[in-house]
Structure 1
């Protein structure tokens, strides 16, 4: 028979007393339950936001991006292309040129990010499913077309397939030995015209500033020749991205960086993780404050049960048994509150995942409702925090109970 557990259960379930100790214990359970529920819900929302970011960028991001470790661009030759293509797991390789350019349309203009892409890009990016108007093809026969972000299209009021008013792009002309612009406007810029063939809507950052064009068009406008700003790699379905990434890093050497999808947006994902960590710490302190009621209720219980403790010590119960009994009382209070909060938190998250009850409240939002995703690791760390807090607030009253003087309390 487990004597400490028997005593703890008796004190916890006793119905004879309806005093301040019971009230404080109930308040403790409610506080722990609310804190646990809030932690599960908030952490699940952060998990959902992290997955949302990955899914949004995943619509346009390649599996891996190869870029120069130093400088904006690098030379591409047959040897480099062959080396990448012959790497096990590389299913598709796309050459990319990306730089800022000035876009003019009628009497309006803005600086855009122009991304020149080789024709096989759409074999690894399902951008055609994100078109809200037009055709996703960058080349139709001999004619070149641009895909315009929805924000850019709205800013400049661009009309698709308007051959009378094509997009006019300008880029500073790089002259050998000259670091400044030519004062002659006619010689200061490279200029090219292209028709708008489609409007895409992927993610606000891309929608408001990007323009996708054929690689040959970007070469002519920017004067890059055989230089590229990146190589996009699509990894085959039967291969692990991390294995292919490590293999490419070994083959290409220190002059290149190879980044997977998370590493391409490491700052944004890191910010979400840091916010999640600080939210966890904040709510853990709230749980600690709520659990202080356990400390007060146990301290008052020790005073209330002085004679019971003295009798237990007198008939041979050791200090360890008494300490364990009061530690278990605190553990039962915390466990009941935590289990209740866990059930409520998981239920609320499930309802949100299934029925999308709570909306984002914005007409321009990408998703209709708050994204939530429950993770077993969150529940583990929440449980660990509750156990640590319970031990911290229960150990002092338990030690006082074990040191009770028999003569003074009989």
Structure 2
């Protein structure tokens, strides 16, 4: 028979006296339950936001991006492309030229990110499903067209398929041997005109700053011939992205970077994880403060049960038995609160996933309700935190109980 557990359960379930000790114990359980529930919900929301960001960027991000480890661009010839296309797992390779350019339309202008894409880009991107107006084509027969972000269109009031007033893009001209920009605008900038054929709506950062153009247009504007700023790689359906990424890194060597979707936005995902960590620490401290009531209730229980403890010691109970008894009392109080909080937290997260009763509250939001995603690791870390906190606040009263003087209390 486990004597410490038997006595601890009796102390916990005793309802003979509705005294201050019982009240403090109940407050402790409520505090632990609320703190645990809040921690589970907040961590699940961060997981949901992280998944939402992946989904949003996944609409335009390729599986893998090859870029130069040093410098902005690198040379690409047909032999190089064929060597990549023949690799196992590589389904498609898209050539990309990307740089800043000045976009003018009527009397308005802004600096945009111009992304020049080869014709096979839409074979590996889902962007055609995010066209808000017009269509996704970058060419109609011999006519070159641009896809503009919704924010860019709004900022410049761009009209689609306007052949009378095309967009005007300018890029600083690279004059060999010259380190300064000419004061004559006609000599200082390359200039090309282009018609907007469609508007995309993907994610605010992309929508407010990007336009997509044919790669031939970008070559003329930037003065590139065989140079490219990146290659987009689509991985075959039966291959793992991580496996193909490692194969490409081995073949290309240290002169190139090969990045998957998360690595392309490493700063953003790192920021989300750091915020999640600080939220976890903050709510753990709140749990610690709520659990201090366990310390006070156990300390008062030790004072109230001095005679019982002395009798136990006189009957042959060891100091270890007494310590374990009061540690178990604190553990039971924390366990009941934590179990209640876990059930409520998981239940609310499940309800949000199923019914989405908490709205984002924004008309322009890409999702109607707050995204949540529960992870087993969050539940495990929460439980471990509660165990550590419970031991920390219970050990001092338990030690005091085991050190009582028999002669003074019998």
Structure 2 alignment gaps of length 5 or more: none
Cross-structure match for 1:379: 379
Q: Which digits, 9 at most, give the CA deviation of each residue in 1:153-182, with x for residues without a partner? A: 111111111111111111111111112222
Indicate conservation of the 8 Å contact 1:66/1:256, yes or no: yes
Q: Which 10-residue stretch deviates more, 79-88 or 394-403? A: 79-88
- State the 1:362 CA deviation: 2.0
Q: Which digits, 9 at most, give the CA deviation of each residue in 1:204-263, with x for residues without a partner? A: 111011010011111111111100000001111111111111111111011111111001
Cross-structure match for 1:16: 16
Alignment of 1:362-373 (within 5 A): 362-373=362-373
Instruction: Give me the whole-angstrom Cα distance separating, in 2, the residues matched to 1:403 and 1:205.
Output: 64
Instruction: Give me the whole-angstrom Cα distance separating, in 2, the residues matched to 1:157 and 1:141.
Output: 26
Q: Which 10-residue stretch deviates more, 235-244 or 5-14? A: 235-244
- State the 1:86 CA deviation: 2.1
Secondary structure of the 2:162 match is coil
Instruction: Give me the whole-angstrom Cα distance separating, in 2, the residues matched to 1:219 and 1:244.
Output: 29
Cross-structure match for 2:111: 111
Cross-structure match for 1:353: 353
Cross-structure match for 1:391: 391
Runs of 4+ in 1 over 3 A off after TM superposition: none
Alignment of 1:108-257 (within 5 A): 108-257=108-257
Secondary structure of the 2:195 match is strand
Secondary structure of the 2:55 match is helix
Instruction: Give me the whole-angstrom Cα distance separating, in 1, the residues matched to 2:165 and 2:5.
Output: 83
Indicate conservation of the 8 Å contact 1:118/1:215, yes or no: yes
Structure 1 alignment gaps of length 5 or more: none
RMSD: 0.9
- State the 1:83 CA deviation: 2.5
Q: Which 10-residue stretch deviates more, 377-386 or 138-147? A: 138-147
Q: Which digits, 9 at most, give the CA deviation of each residue in 1:125-173, with x for residues without a partner? A: 0101000011101111111110010001111111111111111111111
Indicate conservation of the 8 Å contact 1:170/1:190, yes or no: yes
Secondary structure of the 2:330 match is helix
- State the 1:328 CA deviation: 0.5
Indicate conservation of the 8 Å contact 1:83/1:251, yes or no: no
Indicate conservation of the 8 Å contact 1:168/1:193, yes or no: yes
Instruction: Give me the whole-angstrom Cα distance separating, in 2, the residues matched to 1:399 and 1:47.
Output: 41
Secondary structure of the 1:24 match is helix
Q: Does 1:404 align with 2:407?
A: no
- State the 1:68 CA deviation: 0.5
Q: Which digits, 9 at most, give the CA deviation of each residue in 1:50-85, with x for residues without a partner? A: 111111111000011110011111111223212322
Cross-structure match for 2:102: 102
TM-score normalised by structure 2 residue count: 0.98
Cross-structure match for 1:46: 46
Cross-structure match for 2:309: 309
Indicate conservation of the 8 Å contact 1:101/1:112, yes or no: yes
Cross-structure match for 1:297: 297
Cross-structure match for 2:55: 55
Instruction: Give me the whole-angstrom Cα distance separating, in 2, the residues matched to 1:83 and 1:204.
Output: 36
Instruction: Give me the whole-angstrom Cα distance separating, in 2, the residues matched to 1:83 and 1:324.
Output: 68
TM-score normalised by structure 1 residue count: 0.98
Instruction: Give me the whole-angstrom Cα distance separating, in 2, the residues matched to 1:362 and 1:93.
Output: 38
Q: Which digits, 9 at most, give the CA deviation of each residue in 1:339-372, with x for residues without a partner? A: 0011111111112111111112222222222111
Cross-structure match for 1:92: 92
Instruction: Give me the whole-angstrom Cα distance separating, in 2, the residues matched to 1:314 and 1:186.
Output: 102
Instruction: Give me the whole-angstrom Cα distance separating, in 2, the residues matched to 1:137 and 1:20.
Output: 74
Instruction: Give me the whole-angstrom Cα distance separating, in 2, the residues matched to 1:282 and 1:70.
Output: 40
Secondary structure of the 1:198 match is strand
Q: Which digits, 9 at most, give the CA deviation of each residue in 1:100-131, with x for residues without a partner? A: 11111111111111100001110110101000
Instruction: Give me the whole-angstrom Cα distance separating, in 2, the residues matched to 1:38 and 1:336.
Output: 16
Q: Does 1:68 align with 2:71?
A: no
Instruction: Give me the whole-angstrom Cα distance separating, in 2, the residues matched to 1:373 and 1:187.
Output: 55
Q: Which 10-residue stretch deviates more, 316-325 or 182-191? A: 182-191
Cross-structure match for 1:4: 4
Instruction: Give me the whole-angstrom Cα distance separating, in 2, the residues matched to 1:212 and 1:327.
Output: 65
